Amino acid sequence: MGYVISGMYFGWNLGLEKGGTLGMAIAKGIVVVMYVCFTLSYAELACAIPKAGDAFDPVGRAIACGVGF
């Protein structure tokens, strides 16, 4: 628990050391944009294929079922 709270798990300490406050803010901004894009595309994919099964169902539709597994 202390490892995560101290920031070592996410690399905050190294990021602040190497890039400073502005560099860390820019990096976090990029990560936020990428995460929002991922979340919106995953939500659209979940609406298109409304079946429980994690990532296996979309891959099974895109590729042959045996190869997708």
Residues 26-37 have pLDDT tens digits of 988 998 899 999
* Burial (CB count <10 Å: 0-12, 13-18, 19+), residue 66: exposed
Domain that holds residue 7: 2-68
Q: What is the pLDDT of residue 16?
A: 79
pLDDT tens across 8-54, in order?
556 677 777 888 889 888 988 998 899 999 999 888 888 887 777 67
CB 58 within 8 A of CB 43: no
Rounded Cα distance, 12 and 33, in Å: 18
Q: What is the pLDDT of residue 18?
A: 83
Instruction: Give the count of domains, the chain.
Output: 1
Give CA separation, 48 vs 26, 31, 55, 63, 68, in Å: 33, 26, 13, 16, 18
